[in-house]
Structure 1
Amino acid sequence: MTQRDERALRRQLERYTLRFNDAFWRFWDEQVAPVLPAAPVIVDVGPGPGLFLRDLSERLPDATLHGVDANEAMVENARAIDYAGPVPSLVLANVESSPLPYDDGSVDLLTMAAVLHGFDDPFSFLREQAARVLKPDGRMLLFDWFRQPMREYVERRLIEPGEPEETRYERALEQFRVHNKYTLDDWRWVFAESGMRIEAETSEPHPFARVWLLRPE
């Protein structure tokens, strides 16, 4: 594992509960769980170290879980952790440059957390990949960043865990450029242009992020 991979893995492990907190799971229970079948097929795109899949495994004992990630270190960590329920099938692949490795109309829920903002072409992924693998009544659960004032973003990042003190400021500036790509209106336009309808949304889990439940139109 490279030092860069090690740092990225540590950040995701330490920040997991900042994203998937009580507010997130409340949204899940109120908006997502009611639309899932008893034994859903769920694909997590960019599962990182696998903690979200681990929690889904505990909550959904009859689910079939999959994860696909472009980072080998993340996939290795996800394969090594303990799962209380179904063990996910994990694939090492870059879905920006290759198709999602799942059959057409086979997925009940496609999830992505803090991944889509990094894609050069989110339209093609949503319109051609997500819509292809989802069942006719399938949904997509998207957690992603939206644009913030620079001062608010940097000051919050300076007090969050997951980065050594000596590199925290530099990292905050670096991530500001990455995380502040889209406004909320930009995201809504991306969804509309990609044939995705917003069924529910919230910003409660994280002040700089939005969680959307989407459905192909």
Structure 2
Amino acid sequence: MQVGATMELLRPLLADITADGLSLIGEVTAEELDLTGEDALLSGPLAVSLDLTNIEGLVAVTGVLEGTIVRECVRCLKEYEDPLAFSVRAAFIQEPKSAPRHPKRIDLRKGRAEVVEAESEEEPDDQYHYQGNQLELAPMLREHVILSAPMQPLCSDDCVGLCAQCGKDLNEGPCQCAEEPTIPTFRVVQSMKHKTGGSSAS
């Protein structure tokens, strides 16, 4: 079964996940994912393609998220458009009324969804809860988008950044700041040795 409307895309019903699974294809906006400019600045909607499988009430979600995000380069501080494309892997388990004696989780690492006994009470990062008969996918997708941000966003690997003195963008050409004279390390060490020797002799 395939669904494309935004409402059904972000809030699918468990009843719609048949034995053959459920495919969700469509677009979502920053507003629909509750993304602010501080989280991620999208230059347009994100294309979403997800496959849902219901296994004993545990829902495995896999797919792809694609779009473009506007980021700020850490070197030149200019904004640039960064193509976004990454895999989505998550599992939804029904919110328990009480802690289960033998908690279970969905193992997504084996190439297919499989229900296994949890090794500990600590939940994996890719597991989420749902209540009732409907999933809420927006928070999960929002988290994936935020976590996709690089630690050091660069507009280009060749970006040389700004001049530390005048702030000119050196990608546009050299600035007029005089280069600070540098003293070879060997000469500095030799000078220190002479000074130390002289003070010892006296």
Q: With the length of structure 2 as denominator, give the TM-score of the two structures.
A: 0.21
Q: Which has the higher strand share?
A: 2
Q: Which has the higher helix share?
A: 1
Q: With the length of structure 1 as denominator, give the TM-score of the two structures.
A: 0.20
